[in-house]
Structure 1
Amino acid sequence: MADEHTTAGSYVTPGSEFTRDMRYIPTRITADGRDGYPVEAGRYRLVVARACPWANRSIIVRRLLGLEDAISLGVCGPTHDARSWTFDLDPGGVDPVLGIERIQDAYLARFPDYDRGITVPAIVDVPTGQVVTNDFAQMTLDLSTEWTAFHRDGAPDLYPQARRDEIDEVMLGVFRDVNNGVYRCGFAGSQEAYERAYDRLFARLDRLSERLATQRYLVGDTITEADVRLFTTLARFDAVYHGHFKCNRSRLTEMPVLWAYARDLFQTPGFGDTTDFQHIKEHYYVVHEDVNPSRIVPKGPDLRGWLTPHGREQLGGRPFGDGTPPGPVRPGEAVPAAHTAAAMAG
Structure 2
Amino acid sequence: MGRLQNGEWQDVWYDTKSTGGKFERTTTKFRNWITPDGRPGPTGEGGFEAESGRYHLFVSYACPWAHRALIFRALKGLDAHIDVSIVHPEMLSDGWEFRTDFAGATGDRLFGLPFLRDIYTRADPKISGRVTVPVLWDKQRDTIVSNESAEIIRMLNGAFDEITGNRDDYWPEALRDGIEEVNERVYHTVNNGVYKAGFATSQEAYDEAVEDLFDSLDWLEARLSENRYLMGDRITEADWRLFTTLIRFDTVYHGHFKCNRAKLVEYPNLWGYTRELYQWPGVAPTVHFGHITHHYHYSHETINPHRIVPIGPDLDLMAPHGRDEIGARDAA
TM-score, scaled to structure 2: 0.88
Work out whether 1:234 is the aligned partner of 2:239. Answer: no
Q: CA deviation at 1:109?
A: 1.2
The answer to whether 1:119 aligns with 2:119 is no
Specify which of 243, 262, 268 is matched with residue 280 of structure 2: 268
Q: Secondary structure at the match of 1:307?
A: coil
Q: Distance in 1 between matches of 2:307 and 2:220?
A: 33
One-letter amino acid matched to 2:32: T
Offset from partner CA, 1:170-218 (integer Å, 9 cap, x none): 1111101000000000001100000000000000110111110011111
Gaps of 5+ in 2: none
Q: Hey, what's the Cα distance between the residues in 1 that align with 2:160 and 2:232?
A: 23
Does structure 1 residue 213 correspond to structure 2 residue 225?
yes
Equivalent position of 1:141 in the other structure: 154
RMSD of aligned alpha carbons = 2.2
- For the pair 1:246 / 2:258, whether they are aligned, the reply is yes
- 1:136 deviates by 1.0
SS at match of 2:249: helix
Alignment check: 8 A CA contact 1:26 1:133 kept: yes
Q: 1:288: which partner in 2?
A: 300
Q: Which whole-Å CA distance do the structure 1 matches of 2:169 and 2:220 have between them? A: 22
AA aligned opposite 1:13? T
Name the CA shift for 1:94/1:254 in 2 (closer, same or farther; >3 Å). Answer: closer
The number of equivalent residue pairs is 314
> Please, which of 291, 299, 324 is the counterpart of residue 313 of structure 1?
324
Residues 87-236 of structure 1 aligned to structure 2 (within 5 Å): 87-89=98-100, 94-153=107-166, 155-236=167-248
Corresponding residue number in structure 1 for 2:54:
43
Kept in 2, the 8 Å contact 1:184–1:194? The answer is yes
Residues in 2 aligned to 1:90 and 1:62: alpha-carbon distance in whole angstroms = 25
The CA distance in 1 between the partners of 2:101 and 2:163, in whole Å, is 27
Partners of 2:210 and 2:92 in 1: CA distance = 28
Query: Which segment is superposed worse, 124-133 or 256-265?
Result: 124-133
List, as ranges, runs of 4+ consecutive aligned residues in structure 1 with deviation greater than 3 Å. 2-12, 90-94
Is 2:251–2:293's contact at 8 Å kept on the other side of the alignment? yes
Aligned partner of 1:53: which letter?
Answer: P
In structure 1, the residue matched to 2:291 is 279
Which stretch has the larger CA shift, 33-42 or 87-96? 87-96
Deviation at 1:152, TM superposition (A): 4.2
SS of 2:265's partner is: helix
Deviation of residue 11 (structure 1)? 4.8
* Deviation, structure 1 residue 31: 2.2
User: Is 2:73 the partner of 1:62?
Assistant: yes
The one-letter amino acid paired with 1:145 is G
Matched, 1:13 2:16: yes
Structure 1 unpaired stretches of 5+: 318-346
Q: Secondary structure at the match of 2:98?
A: coil
- Superposition deviation, residue 133 in structure 1: 1.3
Deviation for aligned residue 1:71: 1.1
TM-score for the superposition, normalised by structure 1: 0.85
- Of 228-237 and 132-141, more deviation after overlay is shown by 132-141
Q: Following the alignment from structure 1 to structure 2, what is the Cα–Cα distance between the partners of residues 93 and 121?
A: 15
Does residue 27 of structure 1 match 2:39?
Answer: no
Q: Which has the higher contact order (CA 8 A, sep 6+)?
A: 1
Listed one character per residue, the Cα deviations across residues 272-325 of structure 1 (whole Å, up to 9, x for unaligned) are 22110110011101111101101110011112x2121121111127xxxxxxxx
Q: 1:131 to 1:83 in 2, by over 3 A?
A: farther
Identity of aligned residues (%): 44
SS of the residue aligned with 1:269?
A: coil
- Are the aligned partners of 2:199 and 2:257 in contact in 1 as well (CA < 8 Å)? yes
C-alpha offsets along residues 109-166 of structure 1, whole Å, 9 cap, x if unaligned? 121111111111001122454322101111101111222222344x521111111111
